[in-house]
A and B are shown apart, each in its own frame.
Chain A
Amino acid sequence: DAGVTQSPTHLIKTRGQQVTLRCSPKSGHDTVSWYQQALGQGPQFIFQYYEEEERQRGNFPDRFSGHQFPNYSSELNVNALLLGDSALYLCASSLAPVPNYGYTFGSGTRLTVV
């Protein structure tokens, strides 16, 4: 049973550039949530996708956008990268768009902005 798959695992970008991160949810899961985790901090909610629509959004600027495809996989796009965007980006999948079930996290994408 495949878990959550994220790519790439590591990425180095320059300030001002754009980046796309990808996520394939666990088999049977149709909801994808994206989190940003700075070093030594807890995961911060970016947004959630269900039925190919953004259902919820955390306190992140419009530079952060996403997409969900018919096969439930998802992308996170960040435009105009800032140094402060350096973090571990985690994708989590779940059975439904309500947080009443445990989330399954991928291994994350470590983004470094220089």
Chain B
Amino acid sequence: GQQVMQIPQYQHVQEGEDFTTYCNSSTTLSNIQWYKQRPGGHPVFLIQLVKSGEVKKQKRLTFQFGEAKKNSSLHITATQTTDVGTYFCAGPLYSGAGSYQLTFGKGTKLSVIP
């Protein structure tokens, strides 16, 4: 069935190093959303990408939507300990009868070593 996949599952980086997580969908998406979940917390919406090839930046975070609108990436420059958490991508997958479900990937858990 349709799914949203993320790699890697885990990433350990030294503080100051860069980090990238990748998201792939089995089908073309109308949009891709990114969320961050801190340890013990709940998912918090970061951003939504809509256009093919779109790139958006939030301070040290760069989000990209692929040309085919089936893949996306999140890149963090010079990680800090405040970046620790699990990053999820989510996309609307068709569930039948004209409806779409916001479907989450399994996430990439980022650990930052001070």
Contact = CB atoms under 8 A, between A and B. Distances in A.
Interface of A: 33, 35, 40-45, 48, 55-56, 58, 88, 90, 92, 98-108
Contacts, number: 61
B103 A90 contact: no
27 contacts: A40-B109, A41-B106, A42-B6, A42-B88, A42-B107, A43-B43, A43-B104, A44-B104, A45-B102, A45-B103, A48-B101, A58-B95, A90-B43, A92-B43, A98-B92, A99-B90, A99-B92, A99-B100, A99-B101, A99-B102, A101-B48, A102-B33, A102-B47, A103-B33, A103-B43, A105-B42, A108-B42
A105 B35 CA distance: 10
B114 interface: no
A44 B45 CA distance: 16
Contacts of A101: 48
Given A42-B88, A99-B100, A104 B106 contact: no
Contacts of A35: 104
Interface residues of B, number: 27
A100 to B, nearest CB: 6
A106 B45 CA distance: 11
Contacts of A99: 31, 33, 90-92, 100-102
A55 B98 CA distance: 11
Nearest to A33: B102
Nearest to A56: B99
